[in-house]
Structure 1
Amino acid sequence: DQYYGWGLVNAYAALQAALGGENQPPVADAGGNKTGDEGEEITFDASTSYDPDGYIVSYTWDFGDGSTAEGKVVTHAYADNGVYTVTLTVKDNAGATDTDTVTVTIYNVAPTADANGPYSGSVGEEITFTGSASDPGTADTLTYTWDFGDGSTATGQTVTHAYSQPGNYTVTLTVEDDDGGVGTDTTYAVITEAPAQPKMHVESIDMSTQSIYWGWFTRAVATVTIYDENGNPVEGATVSGHWSGLTSDTEQGTTDANGQVTFYSNWVFLASGTFTFTVDNVEKSGWIYDSAANKETSDSITV
């Protein structure tokens, strides 16, 4: 009980009661109103709080943003701008409490943008732009907007863009937080002419036939050769074509190291007439099919 309990607090309370005195509550003083920036450490000092007939045993701070702290002098940083009510609660050795409040006004701080870079590439190439930003207001949401210097813009921390003309472009990254704070950074992109794409064409189509079952069944064989503009075989080109005449099937295949791919027609019973193979298209990534340079586009063989 309060007269015979253990500990200094209870002993002091017992003494007060025995002497017939009534405990006087402490007086909380949280200091004056404060201002600061989001992310800034702000000091709160309750040193001028006092107890008229005893002593204060605890200082509890509620910063109004869901955070609390214990101590006579404490610091706190706010994650976002706004006006906060800070409450100090002090308790004396007899268990009595008192509170005091102050108002803290926190101002927004604009983010710091970093466009990274510089960037480089060629005309038509998709270039990746990656930005970053720092904001002391850790609760802020950031929006990234890019201006590529050629009249085009994009939104996002990481974006891609292809330039249609060579040149040196000023690239601007604008980062805005959800409170209207804006930070910008500029870099540049050096765009060169796209490298000339190599050209390829049909160099030749060689025709032959094969027969089985004493010549009752016959098929045609077409070997297509693809060369580049310097007369070198092109490996890995996809050749598409079709048969006509005695058969009408379609074909597709890929050239080997000699630039050649071979196609076989369907078997024809008692064949009498002409097998014709026609190249419809030649494709390879990074290459141009120059059909005007073809030595031949179709060839035939008669049986």
Structure 2
Amino acid sequence: MWCGLLLAHPVAAQNAGDTISVDCPLPRVMEMCVELDARRAIDPDAGPLTFRWHMGDGTLLTGPTVQHCYQQRQAYTIQLDVVEEATGEIRTAEKLIPVDFTKEIVLNFRATDTVRVGQPVAFDALDSQLPLCENVVVLWDFRDGYVTNGRQVQHAFRRPGQYSVRMSLRGNGPDACPSSHCVSRRVVVVP
């Protein structure tokens, strides 16, 4: 029996300490979705088969191909049970598929797209992660001369304009820790 699995894509790295010259891409929502395919699974002696996918989060899907998106970034084990339609026999745990969303590099932050001068804006990088790093610092460059750090921060712009706010994740060790990464998002400040 064969099952296919599709996960998130890798993210470009930023050189450590570089907040000015690097062009930081837009945040990309890292969908926590899987596509599974058991169409190649056959058992000529058993006849037609029904596939039951226990997705590890309480969801049960049926069919030779399924798609599912998870709501929480954690590790799951998908269990495939196969039912022989002719006899009703259930082959429990015919296949177990581990899916771990805690090991993916995630660069994303939330903020309001348009604000007024002087209005405090909340910036949130709670979903971002560098999983191989022991100590991660979140740096913010608001592109108006103000820089700060923290997973959740507030900032009020003093002048109208368009600002490409940058959020960088910087990991500090161990050696397997990836280099720093950054993303940017445009915030329009109106009078």
Q: What's the TM-score, normalizing by structure 2?
A: 0.50
Deviation per CA, 1:87-119, whole angstroms, max 9, x where unpaired? 211111212232123344553442255553464
| Amino acid across the alignment from 2:7 | G
Please point out which of 107, 110, 115 is paired with 1:110. Answer: 107
Matches of 1:72 and 1:162 in 2, distance apart? 53
Matches of 1:50 and 1:154 in 2, distance apart? 55
Deviation per CA, 1:1-47, whole angstroms, max 9, x where unpaired? xxxxxxxxxxxxxxxxxxxxxxxxxxxx2425x34124254321122
Matches of 2:44 and 2:160 in 1, distance apart? 78
Aligned match of 1:63: 55
* Structure 2 residue ranges without an equivalent (≥5): 9-29, 130-137, 170-179
Aligned residues: 147
Summarize the alignment of residues 158-169 of structure 1 with structure 2, pairs less than 5 Å apart. 159=154, 161=156
Q: Which structure exhibits the higher relative contact order, with contacts defined as CA atoms closer than 8 Å and separated by 6 or more residues?
A: 2
The Cα of 1:132 is off from its aligned counterpart by: 6.8
Structure 2 residue 93 is the aligned partner of structure 1 residue 96 = no
Structure 2 residue 102 is the aligned partner of structure 1 residue 130 = no
Aligned match of 1:51: 43
Q: Given that residues 147 and 154 in structure 1 are in contact (C-alpha distance below 8 angstroms), is that contact kept between their aligned partners in structure 2?
A: no
Matches of 1:45 and 1:167 in 2, distance apart? 51
CA RMSD between the two structures: 4.6
Please point out which of 27, 31, 35 is paired with 2:3. Answer: 31
- Using the aligned pairs only, state the percent identity: 17
Bigger-Rg structure (1/2): 1
Summarize the alignment of residues 1-303 of structure 1 with structure 2, pairs less than 5 Å apart. 29-32=1-4, 34-37=5-8, 38-39=30-31, 41-80=33-72, 84-92=76-84, 93-98=86-91, 99-104=94-99, 106=101, 107-111=104-108, 113-114=110-111, 116-117=113-114, 119-120=116-117, 127-130=118-121, 140=127, 147=142, 149-151=144-146, 153=148, 159=154, 161=156, 172=165, 174=167, 183-187=183-187
Partner SS for 1:183: strand
The Cα of 1:146 is off from its aligned counterpart by: 6.7
The Cα of 1:69 is off from its aligned counterpart by: 0.8
Matches of 2:119 and 2:160 in 1, distance apart? 17
Q: What's the TM-score, normalizing by structure 1?
A: 0.35
Matches of 2:66 and 2:112 in 1, distance apart? 38
Partner SS for 1:36: coil
